[in-house]
């Protein structure tokens, strides 16, 4: 499946717009505060990467359920709450392109 932040894909023609799809990921394990800022920022980065991957996987699964083979116009929103939870949401338009 092709995922892109652009609204079109060079060399492909969009033949059908299926609808808006989204994916959400939230870390289920609260990160611990530490006095070692290097470890803290590494933990945030690791958690963010993992949660972002979950959100994109959910986005692709939802697009496949709509029989789409591409998601265009993807927007990513990453939020770090005051209680150290990481939330990522991704939204785009599921489309079918001629291959």
Which domain covers residue 72, as residue numbers? Answer: 2-9+16-97
The C-alpha atoms of residue 24 and residue 91 are separated, in whole angstroms, by 9
Closest by Cα among 35, 38, 31 to 87: 31
**CATH, residue 38:** 3.30.110.70
pLDDT (tens, 9 = 90+) of the chain, 99 residues, equals 999 999 989 999 999 999 999 999 988 665 566 677 787 778 777 888 889 999 999 999 999 999 999 999 999 998 887 777 888 999 999 999 987
Which residue is listed with tokens 């972002």? Answer: 52
What predicted TM-score, i.e. pTM, was given to this entire model? 0.82
Domains held by the chain: number: 1
């Amino acid at each position: 499946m092709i995922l892109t932040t652009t609204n079109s894909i060079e060399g492909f023609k969009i033949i059908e717009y299926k609808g808006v799809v989204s994916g959400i990921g939230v870390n289920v394990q609260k990160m611990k505060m530490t006095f070692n800022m290097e470890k803290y920022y590494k933990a945030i980065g690791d958690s963010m990467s993992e949660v972002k991957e979950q959100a994109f996987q959910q986005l692709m699964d939802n697009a496949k359920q709509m029989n789409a083979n591409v998601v265009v116009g993807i927007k990513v929103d990453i939020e770090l709450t005051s209680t150290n939870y990481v939330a990522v949401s991704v939204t785009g338009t599921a489309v079918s392109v001629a291959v």
